[in-house]
Amino acid sequence: MKIAVLGAGAIGAYVGASLCRAGAEVHLIARGPHLAALRRDGVRVLSPRGDFSARPYATDDPREVGPVDHVFLGLKAHAYAAAGELVRPLLHARTTIIAAQNGIPWWYFHGLPGPYRDYRIESVDPGGAVTSALPLHRAVGCVVYAATEIESPGVVRHLEGTRLSIGEPDGRVSGRCTEFADAMVAGGLKCPVEPDLRADIWIKLMGNISFNPISALCRATMAGICRHDGTRALVATMMAETLDVAARLGCRPEISIERRLAGAERAGEHKTSTLQDLERGRPMELDVLLTAVVELADLTGAEAPTLRTVAAIADLLNRQLGPQNA
């Protein structure tokens, strides 16, 4: 099996190293000092489950890789629309694109029965640019529950969790999903193929939609947000509004808000990826986390007043980071 990891950052390099350890032919597509280290030394994973190293191929040019069976997409979602030129050299007739993203994916309504079937979410897929770059028939969803970070170029620190749930937009347990999941398990990861991945999407989103923007606005860790009575209540309200939107779309995740809060508090003094992006002056990944749910609230008639307020404030902050976010 031949797999390309496009965007071999913290999660991408960790997944690529694990798949390489399982015997798959893995190609990491990266850039900068990280790429130089990958070429020189391979990937070194530091983990409480045991450190390991792997030496997958590494390049900055997908044309050197050629067609693969699976593309594991480790890019931030706001980079998807411009990813077409990078993805095209990796495709053959049956290549799968497995998108490891937070938030609402561009394929969310693809083939979904009901009144919103095949609806395109403008904030996620502006003008259909993402669908053009990442064709819907190739899409497989992926919800990441593992936490990793780049400790130094070529070195990934695995903090916790090994589960990456995947699933087809139409709910089938397909051969292409099973093939990829088996390779992930052989590499030491958990990779259940979920018939209803959308429930996982909303469970993960409950945390991302609230903690991520608040952490950036307050420069606070997840535990810090939970310890403060006011922000804890704000998070709970945002989660409740998110679940209301999900229910209006026919999805009712079986998890309580208090349980979700408790899990976040256990994460300790963890900085969300949004706060880390802010601190580095990078665009914050807000469209798929927050703006999309506000759009879905408009679609379904949900009020979601707190989500709308936080979205407006966070969007202004994002625009102030630079003209690329305007």
pLDDT tens by residue, 18-73: 999 999 999 999 999 999 999 999 999 999 999 999 999 999 999 999 999 999 99
Whether residue 181 has pLDDT greater than 80: yes
- Domains of the chain and CATH, by start: 2-195 (3.40.50.720), 198-318 (1.10.1040.10)
Pinpoint the alpha helices (H) of the chain.
Answer: 10-21, 32-41, 62-65, 84-87, 129-133, 175-186, 197-218, 222-227, 229-248, 257-266, 273-279, 292-300, 305-320
Query: How does the average pLDDT of the chain come out, rounded?
Result: 95
Residue 321: what residue type?
L
The CA distance from 134 to 88, in Å, is: 9
What is the pLDDT at residue 123?
A: 96
Question: Using one digit for the tens of pLDDT, what is the confidence trace for 228-272?
Answer: 999 999 999 999 999 999 999 999 998 999 999 998 888 778 889
- Catalytic residue, chosen from 2, 190, 204, 271, is 204
pLDDT of residue 234: 98
Q: pTM, whole model, 2 decimals?
A: 0.93
| Residue scoring higher pLDDT (209 or 280) | 209
Indicate if the pLDDT at residue 326 is higher than 80. Answer: no
Cα end-to-end span (Å), the chain = 41
SS (H, E, C) 170-199: CCCCCHHHHHHHHHHHHCCCECCECCCHHH
- Of 187, 162, 190, 167, give the one whose Cα is nearest residue 177: 167
Cα 103 to the chain's mean position, in Å? Answer: 7
* Mean predicted confidence (pLDDT) in 199-207: 96
Tell me, yes or no, if 204 is annotated catalytic. yes
**pLDDT score at 322:** 63
Q: Which residues, in sequence order, are CB contacts of 256 under 8 Å at separation 6+?
A: none
Q: Which residues lie below 8 Å from residue 226, measured CB to CB, with a gap of 6+?
A: 232, 235, 261, 264, 265
Residue type, 8: A
Of the pLDDT bands very low, low, confident and very high (cuts 50, 70, 90), residue 325 is very low
Cα 131 from Cα 139, distance rounded (Å): 10
